[in-house]
């Protein structure tokens, strides 16, 4: 008999897990107190780049996600509606010997994914030459050089328009008709994993996927899980004014990240992500800070970051701002809970993907589905 799985959580992890289960022939009951548009996943940058997701499985999950995002992303009627392939740049200070490569750039997991990433380490001069010939937009060069940046990583990333992607995933879940029960936006939270297990049995499920993100801190009493706060401001991508346009025709937006040197730090990274119809400018990475609003001094810092990125802040006003808490854990929790499993029920946790939920979600969902169904 095919399984029926209670999937708890309507963020990127819960939705993609539900989809993976449905694609493998299982039935699903998807529940969440929140609709997808109220989740952390909805406000995220949607950039494919491993960031604060420290797990031995992160690279494999990331490459599996990159492969899925890449397939059909050039089709404006298909995945291209919500996935864009764009240049991504990360500036580095400190001279040649200080600039290493990230382990995820090695291509260890898949030649196809690694070649589509086209990862390169360049000097700043080389990078600006590339940008000129490829006509992609970078921060003002003089400021980058004056601030001491000497090198950069350049690669081709995929960026997900998170709101559209969540809505497409929910539509696909619903399209499975009788095999998919959807009960999201109920306002009802589980207090313990035991409550999830009881509810699963009541609804004829033989498995549970706990995809509650940061909610698992309370539900599971998981003290290793912390919220890492990120604050962002948004600009309208279609109407924003740039200080860097060269007047020689249209330019492609690039994602730019600076986590060190004069402009950024690990707790206050300076970044810009072109996501759908907006430009997302960040940011912060502050573990344990749960202030829900953007603070006045942060807003000033974010505007300064926008200016550093080349946005003409004298002529362009932000159109929104957002604060979210990344569910960070020293290692992700994707495992069978042997204590809660038994008596005909399999219980799997899938949470703690830090700043990388949109980078790892496909690989993580595949692993969760295997743990839930392969018995």
Ligand X SMILES: Cc1cc2nc3c(=O)[nH]c(=O)nc-3n(C[C@H](O)[C@H](O)[C@H](O)COP(=O)(O)OP(=O)(O)OC[C@H]3O[C@@H](n4cnc5c(N)ncnc54)[C@H](O)[C@@H]3O)c2cc1C
Binding site for ligand X (CB under 6 A): 8-14, 32-34, 39-41, 44-47, 189-190, 211-215, 219, 230, 232, 273, 283, 324-327, 351, 353-359
Burial of 155 (0-12, 13-18, 19+ CB in 10 A): buried
As measured in angstroms, the least distance from the Cβ of 173 to ligand X is: 13
Using Cβ positions, the residue closest to ligand X within the complex turns out to be 215
How many C-beta atoms lie closer than 10 Å to residue 28's C-beta? Answer: 25
| Residue whose CB is less far from ligand X, 144 or 286 | 286
Q: How far apart are CA 59 and CA 103, in angstroms?
A: 8
| Residue whose CB is less far from ligand X, 46 or 163 | 46
CB 181 within 8 Å of CB 118: no
| Residue whose CB is less far from ligand X, 264 or 355 | 355
| Residue whose CB is less far from ligand X, 150 or 226 | 226
As measured in angstroms, the least distance from the Cβ of 11 to ligand X is: 2
CB 292 within 8 Å of CB 43: no
Q: How far apart are CA 323 and CA 302, in angstroms?
A: 12
As measured in angstroms, the least distance from the Cβ of 175 to ligand X is: 20
As measured in angstroms, the least distance from the Cβ of 150 to ligand X is: 25
CB 302 within 8 Å of CB 332: no
CA neighbor of 33 nearest in space, from 11, 49, 48? 11
As measured in angstroms, the least distance from the Cβ of 21 to ligand X is: 15
Alpha carbon of residue 30 to chain centroid? 21
CB 205 within 8 Å of CB 5: yes
| Residue whose CB is less far from ligand X, 46 or 260 | 46
CA neighbor of 162 nearest in space, from 63, 269, 83, 236? 83
Residue for token pair 């609709």: 35
Instruction: Find the helix or strand (DSSP H, E) in which 54 lies.
Output: none
Tokens of 279: 């430009």
As measured in angstroms, the least distance from the Cβ of 274 to ligand X is: 11
| Residue whose CB is less far from ligand X, 154 or 211 | 211
As measured in angstroms, the least distance from the Cβ of 278 to ligand X is: 13
CB 257 within 8 Å of CB 282: no
As measured in angstroms, the least distance from the Cβ of 102 to ligand X is: 14
φ/ψ of 253, rounded to 5, equals -75, 150
Can you give 321-353 as a three-state secondary structure string?
EEEEEEEEEEEEEEEECCCCCECCEEEEEEEEE
| Residue whose CB is less far from ligand X, 94 or 320 | 320
As measured in angstroms, the least distance from the Cβ of 206 to ligand X is: 19
| Residue whose CB is less far from ligand X, 312 or 337 | 337
| Residue whose CB is less far from ligand X, 150 or 329 | 329
């Amino acid at each position: 008999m095919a399984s029926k799985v209670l999937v708890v959580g309507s963020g990127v992890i819960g939705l993609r897990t539900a989809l993976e289960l449905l694609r493998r022939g299982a039935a699903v009951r998807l529940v969440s107190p929140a609709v997808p548009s109220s989740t952390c996943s909805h406000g995220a940058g949607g950039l494919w780049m491993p960031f604060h997701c420290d797990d031995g499985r992160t690279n494999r999950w990331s490459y599996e996600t990159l492969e899925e995002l890449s397939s059909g992303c050039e089709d404006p009627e298909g995945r291209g509606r919500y996935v864009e392939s764009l240049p991504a740049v990360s500036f580095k200070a400190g001279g040649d010997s200080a600039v290493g490569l990230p382990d995820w750039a090695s291509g260890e997991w898949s030649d196809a994914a690694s070649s589509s990433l086209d990862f390169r380490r360049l000097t700043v001069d080389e990078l600006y030459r590339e940008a000129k010939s490829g006509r992609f937009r970078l921060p003002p060069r003089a400021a980058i050089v004056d601030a001491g940046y000497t090198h950069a990583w350049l690669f081709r990333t995929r960026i997900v328009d998170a709101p559209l992607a969540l809505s497409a995933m929910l539509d696909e879940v619903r399209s499975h008709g009788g095999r998919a029960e959807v009960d999201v936006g109920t306002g009802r939270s589980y207090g313990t994993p035991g409550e999830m297990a009881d509810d699963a049995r009541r609804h004829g499920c033989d498995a549970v996927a706990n995809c509650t993100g940061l909610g698992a801190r309370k539900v599971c009493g998981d003290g290793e899980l912390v919220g890492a706060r990120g604050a962002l401001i948004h600009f309208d991508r279609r109407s924003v004014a740039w200080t860097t346009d060269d007047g020689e025709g249209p330019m492609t937006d690039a994602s730019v990240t600076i986590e060190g040197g004069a402009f950024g730090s690990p707790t206050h990274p300076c970044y810009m992500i072109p996501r759908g119809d907006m430009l997302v400018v960040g940011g912060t990475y502050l573990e344990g800070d749960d202030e829900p609003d953007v603070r006045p001094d942060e807003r000033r810092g974010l505007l300064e970051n926008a200016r550093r990125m080349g946005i003409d802040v004298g002529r362009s006003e932000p159109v929104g701002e957002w604060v979210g808490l990344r569910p960070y854990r020293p290692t992700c929790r994707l495992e069978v809970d042997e204590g809660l499993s038994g008596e005909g029920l399999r219980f799997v946790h899938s949470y703690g993907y830090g700043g990388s939920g949109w980078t790892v979600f496909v690989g993580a969902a595949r692993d969760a589905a295997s743990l839930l169904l392969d018995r």
